[in-house]
Amino acid sequence: MATSHTPRAVSAPGKVLVAGGYLVLDADYNGLVFGLDARIHVHVEPIRTKSGVSLSEITVQSPQFNGAQWAYGYRLLEKDGGVGVTQLAVSHDVPLSRNPFIETALTYGLSYISTLLPDTPIAPSSINILASKPYYSNPGTPSTTNPNFLNYNATLSEAHKTGLGSSAALVTSFTAALLSYYLPASKFTTTTDDGLRVLHNLAQAAHCAAQGKVGSGFDVASAVYGSCLYRRFSPSLLSGLPSPKDSGFATELRALVEGDRWDTSIAKAAIKMPKGLRLVMCDVDCGSETPGMVKTVLKWREQNKEEADRVWNALQQGNEALARELTRLATEDEGSSGEGKYDALSKIILGNRKLIREMGVASKVPIEPPQQTALLDACSKIPGVVGGVVPGAGGYDAIVLLLEDREEVIAELKNLVSNYSATANEVAVVDGQDDFKIGKVGILGVREDMVGVRDEDASQYQEWTATN
């Protein structure tokens, strides 16, 4: 049985929505999401206090960044209001800097724990958060014990995210680490179906509360379960939950988390990566305003229902065909090779891209803008590249490619992107500005990860925790 004095560590993967951007917002449609081997790690250990000193404090650090420290006091509230969390000053000369994802995950996690251990005081603890290097494009100094962790010598506000789903991976791994640390294995573990279901539901509730809206949840689902075919839950599930500190919050939260009301569908078995293929992401040094794009597409759909439904239904068929073909190649066609093996897969990807461009033109949203079309087409001409898409909501952030897992294919891709520049006549309108050019293209050091949340060896983080 784990006790509050036993250090614990958990990690959760990032994500890329390969198919189902926009569709995944509607419970009638699926999204095909791959987990990525870029992970957020959360380590929890007893807080260091002087002998005889009693604290009700949890400290949280992200030691890869300057000044990324938060301290929280906590107490059990009256009228079943859960555990109230109050941010404390780390020191007199450091202004308070809120992190809603950490604060909300802590509030929801401790409130749920308090319902399972009603007579057990919550012991103080020290929590460290570490992100593997593909999450940020900033240069950094590698750790001496694990080169996957960089010291960025920058503040969080100066960090440039690469769009791999860091907030969902953070809330998921943070929640899992809290539950693993404070609860005995008889009440929670990441290695059982029940444990994963509880974690998924609790992390979804916390992540939506931190965002201030009920999202589709595919990013949290992949952080928990890894690569999967995902269908969203009904937003009404969370709309009836009391707010933290309100009367009945803790009991309602537990009933929601442990209950069977969740109508989401998460099919891990529906998606496999064939042996010999891999996923590669190319980061484009630009960026898109996803919420604005989503609102515009949804408004177009509302005003043009017949046309939108035709495109969405065709995309749904294409997304399901993509999942089926990947799984067929992984199971029925195992060990076979030869020219034309991936022709059907390539054709499905091209068909989906055509529909996505059609939706983009109709809604006047650059889902696959001309610059990204040119880049995808150039990459797809490389022998061994099966095809690629602009993932998620689209735009200028990144592209994702499926290619044969051979060194010579990667080498040719690296050569292409290192010398790549969009031609001058490929323009789009972004925020009212014409002649929008994509910047430098680089290959992110990630690939698919079929595994979701997992326990880690807590001893591997000593370099980062010893000085905090």
Please report which confidence band the pLDDT of residue 2 belongs to, taking 50, 70 and 90 as the band edges.
very low
pLDDT digits (tens, 9 = 90+) for 96-130: 889 999 999 999 999 999 999 998 999 999 999 99
Q: Hey, how many other C-beta atoms are within 10 angstroms of the C-beta on 307? A: 15
What is the arithmetic mean of pLDDT over 411-416? 94
pLDDT at 71 > cutoff 90: yes
Using CA atoms in the order 48, 51, 55, 61, what is the torsion angle rounded to 10 degrees? -10
What is the arithmetic mean of pLDDT over 50-55? 55
pLDDT digits (tens, 9 = 90+) for 128-173: 999 999 888 888 998 888 888 999 999 998 888 888 889 999 999 9
Mean pLDDT of the chain, nearest integer: 89
Please report which confidence band the pLDDT of residue 50 belongs to, taking 50, 70 and 90 as the band edges.
low
Residue 337 has what pLDDT? 59
CB pairs under 8 A, 24+ apart, for 134-140?
Answer: 134/14, 134/36, 134/38, 134/162, 134/164, 134/444, 134/445, 134/446, 135/14, 135/38, 135/40, 135/161, 135/162, 135/164, 135/166, 136/160, 136/161, 136/162, 137/161, 137/162, 137/283, 137/285, 137/442, 140/64
Please report which confidence band the pLDDT of residue 462 belongs to, taking 50, 70 and 90 as the band edges.
confident
Within the chain, which residue ranges are assigned CATH 3.30.230.10? 8-269+453-465
Which amino acid is residue 169, in one-letter code?
Answer: A
Residue 333 has what pLDDT? 59
Residue 425 has what pLDDT? 35
Q: Which residues on adjacent β-strands are paired with residue 399?
A: 282
Residue 431 has what pLDDT? 44
pLDDT at 182 > cutoff 80: yes
Where helices occur in 117-165 by DSSP H, the ranges are none
CA dihedral for 431, 437, 440, 445, sign (positive or negative): positive
Note the CATH number of domain 277-443.
3.30.70.890
Per the structure block, which two tokens stand in for 433?
């500005």
pLDDT digits (tens, 9 = 90+) for 416-442: 998 887 543 344 444 443 445 666 788
pLDDT at 448 > cutoff 90: yes
Please report which confidence band the pLDDT of residue 87 belongs to, taking 50, 70 and 90 as the band edges.
very high
Please report which confidence band the pLDDT of residue 397 belongs to, taking 50, 70 and 90 as the band edges.
confident
Nearest CA to 283 out of 437, 136, 165, 425 is that of 136
Q: What is the DSSP string of 299-314?
A: HHHHHSHHHHHHHHHH
Task: Give the range among 13-22, 69-78, 83-92, 378-387 with minimum mean pLDDT.
Answer: 83-92
Coil, strand, or helix at residue 217? Answer: coil
What is the arithmetic mean of pLDDT over 194-222? 96
pTM (2 d.p.): 0.92
Residue 132 is given by DSSP the state B
Per the structure block, which two tokens stand in for 346?
């390539």
Within the chain, which residue ranges are assigned CATH 3.30.70.890? 277-443
Task: Give the range among 217-226, 413-422, 445-454 with minimum mean pLDDT.
Answer: 413-422
Which amino acid is residue 228, in one-letter code?
Answer: C
**Neighbouring C-alpha atoms within 13 Å toward the C-beta of 409:** 20
Distance between CA 404 and CA 342 in Å, rounded? 10
Task: Give the range among 16-25, 44-53, 162-171 with minimum mean pLDDT.
Answer: 44-53
pLDDT at 299 > cutoff 80: yes
Distance between CA 425 and CA 79 in Å, rounded? 64
Parallel, antiparallel, or unpaired: how do β-strands 125-131 and 57-61 relate? Answer: parallel
What is the arithmetic mean of pLDDT over 434-456? 83
Q: pLDDT above 90 covers what percent of the chain?
A: 72
Distance between CA 290 and CA 396 in Å, rounded? 10
Is 271 in contact with 226 (CB distance < 8 Å)?
Answer: no
Q: pLDDT above 70 covers what percent of the chain?
A: 90
Distance between CA 2 and CA 125 in Å, rounded? 14
Which residue bears the tokens 């989906």? 352
pLDDT at 272 > cutoff 70: yes
Q: Which residues on adjacent β-strands are paired with residue 75?
A: 84
Multiple choice CATH, 8-269+453-465, 2.60.120.620, 3.30.230.10, 3.40.190.10, 3.40.50.10860: 3.30.230.10
**Neighbouring C-alpha atoms within 13 Å toward the C-beta of 335:** 1
What is the arithmetic mean of pLDDT over 399-419? 94
Is 82 in contact with 250 (CB distance < 8 Å)?
Answer: yes
